[in-house]
Structure 1
Amino acid sequence: MAHLQLPDGVLNYRLDGPEHAPVLVLSNSLGTDLHMWDTQMPLWTQHFRVLRYDTRGHGDSQVTEGPYSIEQLGHDVLALLDGLNIQRAHFCGLSMGGLIGQWLGIHAGERLLRLVVCNTAAKIGSPDTWNPRIETVLRDGAAAMRGLRDASIERWFTPAWSAAHAEQVSRITEMLASTSPQGYAANCAAVRDADFRDQLGAIAVPLLVISGEADAVTPPSGGQFIQAHVAGAQYAGFQAAHLSNVEVGEPFSRRVLDFLLAR
């Protein structure tokens, strides 16, 4: 692990893979950390210099004063690239990470090679969903995070998969329980306020959109909307809930790899 000093905080990151390979940046979902991508690492590090980081307010990155915005989180990615002297990179983000990817595609496409957004939408939820969650987390702290951990199992994974993979489910959901309540609430506000529905046409880099067919958090219709509004975008659906990269593992990894390596 390593750390990048931002003007207002510290960003935790990790680099794996061949030193001179193309860089692939991975962006975590709300309530997880860079280890949510562990399943993908054995395959992807054969082809890429993989740059994982903990989004501000998550993992070992600093919890700065909120609320945050997706624009702010997008600028964190650009600061990370600048700090590591990376001019252009592939980017893959899931859920909140997919919102960050959309912002980058719209506002900083010249820094991207190819873009993958997974289990996300141009707008996720409404204030009626997010505001009570923010209020509860800020009021109840760690107890609220433990409650979210328990509730996340049915949102993040299909019942059959979670029943058969209890150890993996526990590993991922414990990330949520250990997330800073203040950092989580600040990121909830970023997701709440993001709305790229009228800006998607500005994305000009090659784009792959991935959805989980059983994802109740960001249903396939949200991913299909993105694909329909970005010229040339590709779409892939998997039989999975919200964390499709964890649940379907190898097929997810292969589909992303095929897209990133395409000529």
Structure 2
Amino acid sequence: MDLWLPQLPALTRAWRVLRYDLPGHGGAPVPDGPFTVDDLAGGVLSLLDALGADRAAYAGVSLGGAVGTALALRAPGRVASLVLCCTSPRFGEPGPWRERAALVRRDGVGPVADSAAGRWFTPGFTGAEPYVAMLRATDPEGYAACCDALAGFDATARLGAVSAPTLVIAGAQDGPTPPAGHADRLAAGIPGARLAVVEGAGHLANVERPAAVTEEITAHLERTWKGNEG
């Protein structure tokens, strides 16, 4: 949940904001078994049901963005607006994700945490440690299960069915999901989507360039999601 802390002050001034953790991350319980990205979208719907929220705007980073895409496809009437940040309709070939899942199940999250700062941020960024610490605290099975979910995710052929007004945000220096081949495919495939490329940002653009990303998100929501609806 803390991934969105840089945006909270601006967002909570105009909207009711709900944050949640992926399975095995933060305060969320460790999953009992495998799950798909679509299963994660179903979990968001259950959360909205529990809170009595018929519709919502959704924003997600990386895997969270994939969940947003799946959510918009699964329940279009409940997604009033969509922000997809540093994400993709397909995160490469399944093999490397399966290998990473196996590594983490065997050795824990330490090996991937050791290289996380270089994957997530540009070389000059000095605020990486709190986010790397979050990864180190993640349950290995929760992380591995998310890797398996990414391995099976490919929404490329279905992007045209996303009807929510969509903002796609990319970090210009994003290594895991560079704009070319990832954000640009989302923006081209989703009808009416707008692409914003943030300079000086890596994979966690909302953390590395919070002011620029917050400005993009609030402007998008002001156009598409008025006040505390839902």
Normalised by the length of structure 2, the TM-score is 0.94
* Secondary structure, counterpart of 1:195 in structure 2: coil
Shift in Å at residue 125 of structure 1?
2.0
1:137-176 matches, cutoff 5 A: 137-141=104-108, 145-161=109-125, 165=126, 168-176=127-135
Q: Does 1:194 align with 2:158?
A: no
C-alpha RMSD over aligned residues? 1.0
**What letter corresponds to residue 237 of structure 1 in structure 2?**
V
Aligned position for 2:228: none
Aligned position for 1:255: 216
Structure 2, unaligned stretches of length 5 or more?
225-230
Deviations 1:89-140 (A, max 9, x none): 1000011001000001111110011000010110002122112111111111
Deviations 1:131-155 (A, max 9, x none): 21111111112xxx12211201011
Normalised by the length of structure 1, the TM-score is 0.83
Distance 1:206 1:127 in 2: 29
* Secondary structure, counterpart of 1:215 in structure 2: coil
Structure 1, unaligned stretches of length 5 or more?
1-33
Determine which structure has greater relative contact order: mean sequence separation of CA pairs < 8 Å that are 6+ residues apart, divided by chain length.
Answer: 2
| Identity %, equivalent residues | 38
Shift in Å at residue 66 of structure 1?
2.7
* Secondary structure, counterpart of 2:148 in structure 1: helix
Deviations 1:15-57 (A, max 9, x none): xxxxxxxxxxxxxxxxxxx001111111111111110011122
Runs of 4+ in 1 over 6 A off after TM superposition: none
* Among 207, 225, 231, the residue aligned to 2:191: 231
Distance 1:58 1:123 in 2: 22
Q: Does 1:211 align with 2:166?
A: no
Q: More strand per residue: 1 or 2?
A: 1
Distance 1:187 1:169 in 2: 21
Aligned residues: 222
* Among 163, 179, 182, the residue aligned to 2:141: 182
Q: Is the 8 A contact 1:155 1:216 kept in 2?
A: yes
Deviations 1:171-218 (A, max 9, x none): 111010010001111111111100001000100110000111111101
1:1-263 matches, cutoff 5 A: 34-141=1-108, 145-161=109-125, 165=126, 168-221=127-180, 222-239=182-199, 240-262=201-223
* Secondary structure, counterpart of 2:124 in structure 1: helix
